[in-house]
Amino acid sequence: MKILITGGAGFIGYFLTKHLLECGDPNWSITLVDNFERGKKDEAFAAILKDKRVSLLNVDLTDLASFSKLGSGYDHVYHLAAMNGTKIFYERPQDVLRVNTLSLIYMLDWFRQNNPKGKFCFTSSNEAYAGALNAFNILPIPTPEKVPLVIDDPYNPRWSYASTKLVGELFVIHYAKAYDFRALIVRPHNFYGPRAGYGGHVIPDFCERIASKIDPFPIYGADDTRTFCYIEDAVRAMRLLMESQKTDGQPIDTVHIGDFEELNMRELAEKLFEVTGWHPKSLDIKNGPKGSVKRRLADVSKLQKLTGWKPEVSLEDGLKRTFDWYMAHPDVKK
């Protein structure tokens, strides 16, 4: 099996590579592509690079010249590279729009011309339909894949990212049909774990505030609900979907990946206080960021029907592993 992972040094890319190395055979080869805009060259990443099956290409996927270095004949291509992180959506919406869209178009053109038997996985996001939850209060919860994709306010920079995922889904659907290749769209719902960085991920941000014993403890959008899927469970779901022949047909499948346990930000903070053994004397409840969606709970029955997937890491265990990792790595970049 010949595999390519773009964004291979990032949060999901690292854990996906580790997982594929653990369950793949000695003949597999895995090529990682990253420009280290956000990816990390830390000890963990150096350790996977020591495996003979792994090679790294340090290239920028918005530069067309990079594509002559990617090679050809891949069986599975996971396209994870993107500008990600809520802070970046607000601070650099123009870069988010450019990088995410341009790299996807270049990737799809390279893929269709160089990988006749390959299968392409695009990581979209729950943000692609988050606007629909705000715009139509009647959407079902848990929310299935087949709901409208909506950008309810193009002037709010938050939606720069969501719009690239929305249009990205359309590119993948229509390229796969026009050029007759196998493809899959996954929509991650808040994957969490070690090595996710900071900059808008709620769990690392809470861990940082707990470590600094910030009291009163600020919680933004305390009543907003989400689910959290531990990264090892998440990448297993991605592999199972890519390996399943049930996702080889047309029209291509869009599949939610996420956990079932819905909790609000206040409950999440309480769980972390329990796991870490530190409780602030009081909470400082603040409004969520403009445009933040109140309730987000994915219907993951399609994933289960296709693969039989079930999460294996409990929220308590996952939070503990994550907190411990952040405490052991105080120098991780923001």
Q: Which residues bind ligand NAD (CB under 6 A)?
A: 7, 9-13, 33-39, 60-62, 80-84, 99, 103, 123, 125, 188, 190-191
Helix axes 315-328, 265-276, angle to 10 degrees: 70
How far apart CA 31 and CA 17 sit, in angstroms, is 9
Task: Report in angstroms how near the CB of residue 276 gets to ligand NAD at its nearest.
Answer: 22
How far apart CA 318 and CA 230 sit, in angstroms, is 6
How far apart CA 18 and CA 51 sit, in angstroms, is 10
Question: Closer to ligand NAD at the Cβ: 235 or 252?
Answer: 235
Measured at the CA of 188, the angle between CA 207 and CA 57, to 5 degrees, comes to 90
Task: Report in angstroms how near the CB of residue 175 gets to ligand NAD at its nearest.
Answer: 17
Question: Closer to ligand NAD at the Cβ: 167 or 217?
Answer: 167
Task: Report in angstroms how near the CB of residue 216 gets to ligand NAD at its nearest.
Answer: 28
**Residue recorded with tokens 């959290």:** 228
CA separation (Å) from 140 to 134, 222, 294, 296?
A: 12, 22, 14, 10
- Helix, strand and coil in the chain, % to nearest 5: 45, 15, 40
Neighbour tally for 109: CB within 10 Å: 14
Task: Report in angstroms how near the CB of residue 187 gets to ligand NAD at its nearest.
Answer: 7
Q: Where are the alpha helices (DSSP H) in 79-153?
A: 86-91, 93-114, 127-135
Question: Closer to ligand NAD at the Cβ: 119 or 256?
Answer: 256
Task: Report in angstroms how near the CB of residue 228 gets to ligand NAD at its nearest.
Answer: 9
Helix (H) or strand (E) holding 230: strand 229-230
Task: Report in angstroms how near the CB of residue 196 gets to ligand NAD at its nearest.
Answer: 6
Question: Closer to ligand NAD at the Cβ: 61 or 300?
Answer: 61
Question: Closer to ligand NAD at the Cβ: 115 or 124?
Answer: 124
Question: Closer to ligand NAD at the Cβ: 64 or 141?
Answer: 64
